[in-house]
Amino acid sequence: MNGALLCLAFLAGALLAVQAAANVQLNRAVNSPAGAAALQLVLAAALLAALAGGLGTLTALGRLGAVAPWHLGGGMASALYIAAGIVLFPRLGALVSVGLFISGQVLASLVLDGLGLLGLAREAISVGTLLGALAVIVGMVVVVRAQPAPAGPSRPVRRRLPLVGLGLLAGAGLPVQAAVNARLRADLEAPFAAATVSFLAATVSMLAVLAALVLTGRTTPTARGLADMPWWGWLGALVGAAYVTVSLLAVPAVGAAPTVALTVAGQQIASAVVDHNGMLRLPRRPVTRARLLGVGTLLAGAVLIQLT
């Protein structure tokens, strides 16, 4: 059973690359990044609500009145992560984007654990953990700097810094979300109901952003492109719901460290394959030796942090 869960953790990480690429197609179909993110979140929330209802745990939502308000906000990180993927994948490629997400995730986890924030137990940061964090930073820098220049006018590295910052911030939101959702899960004593609430919070926050953009004339979503979208463009919501479900099942059974390590490995390997072959209608970006070195260093650092 544990072996199956470990395989599922690796597969769930790999599917995150598919999720981001699918969301890019959804964005092109509706002509609005915020609209695509909102639609994906609505679908994911509906899937999780159906799962929680099938398991008979939706009644736990009756306890929400006694929950601290900040315990309900974890899902906003999902909205940021999805929107960042839509923006970054076409511009930086799958490998660089996922590398930034992982780097932000790992570094934010160190801060949360080291300072004992958001209700987490404070843990001493070992030498091995610091070396792992350094390896993650070095690997991230190598991957970003080794990114092939796109066709057309060259883009200096410094002009990519806002995109790099967005990727790191989106990745950093994931461990914050996990910590907040852990509190919500303890409040409701029902993990799938907690996941549903988390995605509903993400949906509400993204719908608010979308409404503001529509009212100010900065985006005009349309449904005309949905008919021409590939079928796999709808998979983002399913992948998001599956990722949450696998995490809920795997972490209690096999531990957080193996789950995170395998998820990270799945993300990077799948992203390298997608980039190198130009799959899922994304631009082809060959994986050079320098990029492989950066990915290997980043993965080694993430694993070292999880094992120390």
The CA distances from residue 226 to 25, 29, 210, 232, in Å, are 9, 5, 18, 12
Report the pLDDT averaged over residues 194-208. Answer: 87
147/206 Cα distance (integer angstroms): 30
Domain ranges for the chain? 2-307
Reported as a single tens digit per residue, the pLDDT across 227-283 is: 888 888 888 888 887 877 777 677 666 656 566 667 777 777 887 787 777 776 667
Question: Structure tokens of 68?
Answer: 């601290």
Residue 253's pLDDT is 67
**pLDDT tops 50 at residue 154:** no
Reported as a single tens digit per residue, the pLDDT across 41-74 is: 899 889 888 888 888 888 888 888 888 888 888 8
Question: Structure tokens of 3?
Answer: 């072996």
- Assess contact for 280 and 125: CB atoms under 8 A: no
Reported as a single tens digit per residue, the pLDDT across 170-190 is: 888 877 877 787 788 788 888
